[in-house]
Every structure is written in C-alpha cells, then in structure tokens.
Chains A and B, each alone.
Chain A
C-alpha cells in the first residue's frame, strides 16, 4: 500500500519543480513582448498592481477591464493561459481564507436584483478574488514573458543593491540543483519507511542536517571555482539593455490605459449604453 502513495507524492513534487523550469522555458521565447527591455515590463507591472489595489473594497465592475493587460501579454507572449490559471488555483489561498470572513461579517444588503439579495460581504469577497487573480496573474505573466535573470538585471539597472541582485541570481541557479538533491533524499527515505516509521524529528534532523553540510561544502567548492576565475565580489553580466521608443511607448501607453480605467468605470458606461439601447 505504501508504494502508490509514494508514487503520487513524488510525482506531485517533481511536477511542482518541473513547473519552475517550464517558466524558464516560456521566458526564453522570442516574441515582441519578450524582446522588450525588462525594465519596461517590470515598471508597467508595478503601475498595474498599484492601480488595481487602489480601488475601494466594494469595487467589482471597474476591475474587470484590467484583465486586458495580462490577456494581451499572454496572447502576444505566447503563454498558455490554462497553465497560468492552474498555477493561480494551486497557490496558497491565504487571500481566500481571509476574504471568506467578509460575507460573515458584513451582512448588510448592498445589491438587490430581481429578487436576489447580495450582501456587502459577498461583494467585497468577489472583489478580493478578482484582485487576487489580477495581481498574482500579472506577476506570473511578468516572469513568463521576461525571465528571472532579465528581471534581476532590470532590478539592478533600477538601482537595487548589486549584492542583492547577485544573491537572487545565485539562488535561482542553485535552487534547481538542491531541489533535485532534496527530492532524492525524500525518495530514499520514503522507500525505506513503512507506515510512517522513521519519518519523525530525529531522522529529520540528520537528513536535513546532511543536506545542509553538503550545501555548505558545495558553497566552498563554488567559491574556490569562482576565485580561480577571478571573482572579486561581483558578477559581471554582459547583456546590453536598450531602452528605446518602443519601451517608452509600452510604459506610457499602458499606464495611460490603466489611469483611464481607474477614473472611468468602463463596464458601467458600456452597460448603461446597452440598457439605454435595449429600452
């Protein structure tokens, strides 16, 4: 009975980390969005998030037009939307956990439509869910059309401390190596433990400790190898970044659209026009 359980576990973990690799694969495509300077995409994404978050807590309709940004980026950037949606659903649902209290706490009827009454709590809960999809979706899209290394370079060019950027690059590079190692350890232990025997804190301490020792040894080897190649505290990255008219157009074009959608409730305007027409 233990074996199928193990299979499922391992498959889940492998898939999870294969996923990060897939993000990198997506980001190495050559589309017009991928070719943009990473700074332009990073800044526009930040503007997007701040504007989305700045809406009042009962806002639903005005948030809908904002889907245009991730949708367009995914379409041009050739990112499969189903993949992003799956990731969104899997994400730790802290927002949902806290948001679900709103319908319990705020029971004042806010909308009454054709006999259905909706309380303010449900409206704000729906608003939280839409915000969640927009903000997290746009962050995932950013990585899928830009790539982690490029985001790090953009950070450095925008003034983040070099030490921190180098740390990010290192972390990303060795994450895959160590995760593979941990997966092997996990598999080895799972194969030797039956009915949860030997998975307690005692053996855990030695397992994780061993992994840590190996990690520290690895760091030492990496350091020596880097010293041999002339490392003296900073990584030099040779990739020209070009901030041209396309990038300026991207930032200001999108920002203008975001501000328009912030100040004009597009769905209400369209809906009002439609209901007028139908009359």
Chain B
C-alpha cells in the first residue's frame, strides 16, 4: 500500500508531508511531556521487531498464499497511539530509504495512511471499546480483526484519493475504489488475525507484560481532539492553498518560460511553434521514406495531415535530444569514474 513518488503531485505530497510532520511533532511533544524514558529504547526495539516479524509468515489455508504481521495495529496495542505513531513513522522512513518503498516525497502520504489510521482512529475508536478492560479470546480476536480492517480500508481509501488528486495515474475514482477496497478487506482480515494471534499469545504467556508496558494517558481527551481539529483545519487550508497554487502554477510556469525564452514552443502546443514545425514537416515529408513511395497520389497530403500539428516536431526533437542527453549524462558519469580511478 506504499504510495510512490512517481504517482503524486507536489501539492498532494507537500500537504501530506505537512500533516505527517505535524503529527510527528505532536507525538514527540507528548512523549517528552510524559517523561518516561523507558519508552525510548522500547519503541526502537519494537520498531525493529516489526521488520523482523515481517520475515516470519504463515500459510493461509486453501489459498496458497501467506500472510504476516502488518505493523500499525500491533504497535498501537503495545505502545499506545503516540509512541506507536512515531514508531510506525520511523519504520516507514527506513523502508523509504533502504528498501526504496515509496519515496521521500510520498513518505508523508505513507506515514499518514499507515500510521495515523491504525494509531489514532482504529485503535481508540474500534479496538479499545471492544476489548475494554476484560480481554477474552473472542473479544481480542474480533477487536484486532475489526480494527485492522478499519485501518486498512481508511488507508486504502486515502491512497485512492491521493492518487486521483495527483492526476498522474488516470484511474478514475470509482474503478480505483472498486479495485483497492476489496483487496484491502482481505489483507485487513489477515493482518487482524496475525495481530490477534501475537497479542493473544503474549496475553496468555505473560499477562503482566501488556499491563506493565509504559503507555500513553488515555486518548480521546480534549487536548487530542483540539489537535486533531487543528490538524484538519490546517490540512484543508494548506491543501486548498497548495492546490490553488498548483492549478494556477502551470500557466504561470508557461508564462515565465515565455518571458524567459521569448518563445512559447518549449511546452509543445503553442502558436509560435507552427511555422518552424511546418518547415520540419515539409522536410521530413520530402525525405525518401517509404510513406512517400506509396503509389497513391493523395497520400502525401494525408501523411502531412496525419502529423499532429501540435506535437510532431517536438516529438522528433525530444527523441533525438533525449537520447543525446542521456548519453551525455552517462558519459559524464563514466568520465568522472575514470578520472577518479587514475588519481
């Protein structure tokens, strides 16, 4: 469910970065105020556990596939929301840098999609009310599965919204939702099962472990709600401003290119391109290509019609120039390497 840099626009990426950075700041402050320094090594090692646990999988009977522990839910159960959110953010950070999952700009989206929903929505609003203070087999199982499903559904929905808003992928909203939500229903179920199995084992083996873990003060109190509302307002405000900026910016960019270069042709379908393009067109049509050799008399006219007036010249130039640039870039690299080897 990792969003990728290749699919997001700067406006969406920036907004989600702001939201996630705000949440990290809030959680860090909260942990610092708690003044429980026991939690610091605990968070680090449990975060590493998430990595390790993903290596151990279990087979799902009848499907031939296997599942493993997700992350957000079990962290929230073990550490409480704030610490869990920070831990999940750090796990995603390492994944982005070492495993190339997603990317640095999409990190904001990923932290929000996979950290915020399990820690601040599914855990306090689904898991906690069901388990309450008397965890039993059934309660634990139901709570973990439901919470994991809710978290993943919300996360998957966010991925859809972020992708569609970015507009790089052309999947329409409806199709994409139909594609993502059912898959993540199944994934959520499996993740919930795995979470429940682990929590249940720890509960049975060492019940005091879960009690004695240093955890946050109750969530859902007023201070958190104010922060949440503040965050929501900020997100909408930033999103609004940024998307306005983004929607007007391309024009602004073209305008500034026009001013800087004195031509509009760099961006393709401009008007200034027309004349120079027709020249290219005329020349290429006269080249002894197989198109021209065709017996039909009116074919040349057709081919010249078929050349899209807007893009043809730019395309040829782009292909030739692109190849040259790529070769240039690579040979600079080789040259640098060789020079270094000599010295």
Contact = CB atoms under 8 A, between A and B. Distances in A.
Interface of A: 13, 20, 23, 31, 45-46, 49-50, 52-54, 56-57, 60-61, 64-65, 67-68, 71-72, 74-76, 78, 81, 87-88, 91-92, 94-95, 98-99, 101-102, 105-106, 109-115, 121, 124, 127-129, 131-132, 135-136, 139-140, 142-143, 148, 151, 160-164, 166-175, 177-179, 181-183, 185-186, 189, 196, 199-213, 215-216, 218-219, 222-223, 226, 231-233, 263-272, 274-275, 279
Contacts of B13: 50, 53
Interface of B: 1-10, 13-14, 24-25, 28-29, 31-32, 35, 37-38, 40-49, 51-53, 55-61, 66, 69, 78, 86-87, 89-91, 93-94, 96-105, 163, 167-172, 193-194, 197-198, 200-202, 205-206, 209, 213, 250, 253, 256-257, 260-261, 266-267, 280, 283, 289, 291, 306-308, 311-326, 328-330, 332-334, 336-337, 340
B37 A232 contact: yes
Contacts of B24: 160-161, 164
Given A94-B2, A151-B97, 9 more contacts: A52-B5, A61-B321, A61-B322, A71-B332, A81-B333, A95-B4, A121-B170, A139-B103, A179-B55
Contact of B37 (A99, A205, A233): A233
Contact of B326 (A64, A127, A164, A179): A64
Nearest to A106: B170
Given A101-B171, A164-B89, A166-B40, A211 B49 contact: yes
Contacts of B66: 199
B326 A60 contact: no
A213 B205 contact: yes
Given A175-B94, A271-B317, A72 B58 contact: no
The 5 residue pairs across chains A and B that have the minimum distance between CB atoms: A170-B44, A271-B321, A209-B201, A205-B197, A267-B321
Given A56-B250, A102-B169, A222 B7 contact: no
Q: Which of A95, A151, A179, A207 has the largest count of B CB atoms less than 10 A from its CB?
A: A95
A60 B325 CA distance: 12
A139 B100 contact: yes
Given A46-B104, A148-B97, A171 B7 contact: no
Nearest to A90: B100
Given A74-B333, A99-B6, A213-B202, A170 B169 contact: no
Nearest to A137: B100
B59 A200 contact: yes
Contacts, number: 369
Contact of B58 (A113, A204, A209, A212): A204
A226 B98 contact: no
Nearest to A209: B201
Contact of A98 (B171, B311, B329): B171
Nearest to A180: B52
B142 to A, nearest CB: 15
A57 B317 CA distance: 19
Nearest to A54: B10
A271 B312 CA distance: 13
A232 B93 CA distance: 25
B318 A171 contact: no
Nearest to A118: B315
Given A65-B325, A111-B311, A200-B58, A182 B52 contact: yes
A248 B89 CA distance: 30
Given A23-B98, A94-B2, A168-B90, A179 B58 contact: no
Nearest to B330: A71
A207 B260 CA distance: 64
A57 B165 CA distance: 13
A64 B38 CA distance: 50
Contact of B94 (A67, A168, A208, A270): A168
A7 to B, nearest CB: 16
Contact of A53 (B2, B8, B28, B57): B8
B194 A201 contact: yes
A161 B61 CA distance: 44
Contacts of B340: 31, 75-76, 78
Contacts of B7: 94-95, 98-99, 128
23 contacts: A61-B317, A64-B329, A68-B328, A88-B100, A95-B4, A99-B7, A101-B169, A111-B315, A129-B6, A132-B6, A135-B105, A148-B98, A151-B97, A164-B86, A164-B90, A167-B90, A178-B49, A207-B56, A209-B200, A223-B37, A263-B261, A268-B266, A270-B325
A248 B283 CA distance: 48
A53 to B, nearest CB: 5
B49 A215 contact: yes
Contact of B55 (A13, A98, A142): A13
A216 B336 contact: no
A50 B10 CA distance: 6
A274 B321 contact: yes
B320 A270 contact: yes
Contacts of A110: 308, 311
